């Protein structure tokens, strides 16, 4: 049994990850400030006596010090996950993502915890020109502050691996779907259609090509790779920061996670309407981007992850339809998230 800290444990993905870690027999210390997290997402975890919740902010070193005492590793999933709002409030991604990741790393170093699993994103690739996009593709430019903050997080983690002997695993996910899904185009479309089933406004011209992954497939991949394929190495003291040993046993790896497929946004709109039993007038915007930073084509090469023996079990259509059913059965989420 290991003891893991999960930042963002009350979030969409963090709560599923927490349950999966508890299901594997581990202790989990969840940290969340409930900025977007939901108490209800933790109902199952709270029934397990190996789960502890620390309500607090990861920018607060005191909260992290308490969480990290006796921990074996950190799953750093807390973040501002809203890609779209970045340019309207440019400090948010810097503080909640870049600085928060730095604070997690510094607190880990202080506590002698050197293993970190990081929720990165396909958004960190900007608008790549190679499809399907492998882990080592060129990145022409960042197109969002969120993407920039995720790449900064990866950079910080790799530097801590190099300089302080940390072990880091960054998973770049495409957009996730499934139960507890609280933001993104399926949420927006279902919300619109609940208010008015006669029309659906779609950002962009609907030809955006996107890949989606079911949250269960994502969590299975993360645990398979970070626990089974790369079991924790024996803990060694973190090198003296005044004389770090570059490259001494450092291990930093990036994995792309998605399905080996994509769909058009207009196809997804069709599945959503079909699942809801509505036939709205579709009103498209113009251009191939819904907003600045909305990549018109997301399609990751997931060969590296699949070579480890993991494979996604849900098609994009099945994930979209299941997500619609979950939203319909949990209308309270529309009051909590905008």
Residues that bind ligand NAD (CB under 6 A): 8, 10-14, 31-37, 57-59, 77-79, 81, 96, 100, 119, 121, 173, 175-176, 182
- Closest contact distance (angstroms) between CB of 286 and ligand NAD is 25
- Closest contact distance (angstroms) between CB of 201 and ligand NAD is 21
Nearer to ligand NAD by Cβ, of 4 and 280: the residue is 4
- Closest contact distance (angstroms) between CB of 210 and ligand NAD is 11
Q: Is the dihedral of CA 24, 29, 35, 39 positive or negative?
A: positive
Nearer to ligand NAD by Cβ, of 33 and 114: the residue is 33
Give the H or E element holding residue 262: none
- Chain length of the chain: 338
Nearer to ligand NAD by Cβ, of 164 and 173: the residue is 173
Count of other CB atoms within 10 angstroms of residue 31? 29
Nearer to ligand NAD by Cβ, of 3 and 323: the residue is 323
Select the residue whose beta carbon is closest to ligand NAD and give its number.
11
Report CA-CA distances (Å) from 83 to 150, 171, 312: 11, 17, 24
- Closest contact distance (angstroms) between CB of 299 and ligand NAD is 15
- Closest contact distance (angstroms) between CB of 281 and ligand NAD is 28
- Closest contact distance (angstroms) between CB of 319 and ligand NAD is 11
Burial (CB count <10 Å: 0-12, 13-18, 19+), residue 137: middle
Nearer to ligand NAD by Cβ, of 119 and 302: the residue is 119
Nearer to ligand NAD by Cβ, of 149 and 250: the residue is 149
Tell me the two tokens of residue 125.
Answer: 């690739």
Tell me the two tokens of residue 163.
Answer: 């300089």
Pairing outcome for strands 73-76 and 51-55: unpaired
Q: Is the dihedral of CA 153, 1, 256, 316 positive or negative?
A: negative
Residue 33 CA, distance from chain mean position: 17
């Amino acid at each position: 049994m290991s003891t893991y800290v999960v930042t963002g444990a009350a979030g969409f993905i963090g709560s599923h990850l927490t349950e999966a870690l508890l299901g594997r027999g581990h202790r989990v210390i969840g940290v969340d400030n409930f900025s977007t997290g939901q108490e209800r997402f933790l109902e199952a975890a709270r029934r397990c006596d190996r789960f502890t919740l620390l309500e607090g902010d990861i920018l607060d070193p005191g909260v992290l010090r308490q969480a990290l005492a006796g921990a074996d590793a950190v799953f750093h999933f807390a973040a501002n996950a809203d890609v779209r709002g970045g340019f309207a409030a440019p400090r948010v991604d810097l503080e909640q993502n870049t600085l928060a990741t730095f604070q997690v790393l510094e607190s880990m170093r202080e506590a002698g915890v050197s293993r970190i699993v990081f929720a990165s994103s396909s958004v960190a690739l900007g608008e790549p020109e190679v499809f399907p996009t492998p882990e080592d593709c060129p990145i022409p430019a960042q197109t969002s502050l969120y993407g920039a903050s995720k790449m900064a997080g990866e950079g910080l983690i790799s530097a801590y691996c190099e300089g302080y002997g940390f072990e880091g695993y960054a998973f770049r996910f495409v957009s996730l779907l499934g139960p507890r899904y609280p933001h993104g185009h399926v949420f927006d479309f279902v919300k619109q259609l609940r208010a008015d089933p006669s029309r659906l406004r779609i950002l962009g011209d609907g030809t955006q090509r996107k890949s989606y992954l079911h949250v269960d497939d994502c969590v299975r991949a993360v645990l398979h790779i970070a626990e089974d394929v790369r079991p924790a190495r024996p803990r060694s003291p973190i090198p003296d920061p005044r004389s770090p040993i570059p490259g001494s046993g450092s291990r930093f790896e990036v994995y792309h996670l998605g399905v080996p497929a994509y769909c058009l946004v207009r196809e997804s709109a069709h599945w959503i309407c079909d699942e809801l039993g509505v036939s709205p007038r579709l009103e498209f915007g113009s251009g191939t981007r819904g907003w600045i930073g909305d990549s018109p084509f997301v399609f990751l090469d997931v060969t590296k992850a699949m070579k480890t023996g993991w494979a996604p079990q849900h098609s994009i259509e099945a994930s979209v339809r299941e997500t619609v059913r979950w939203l319909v059965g949990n209308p309270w989420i529309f009051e909590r998230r905008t």
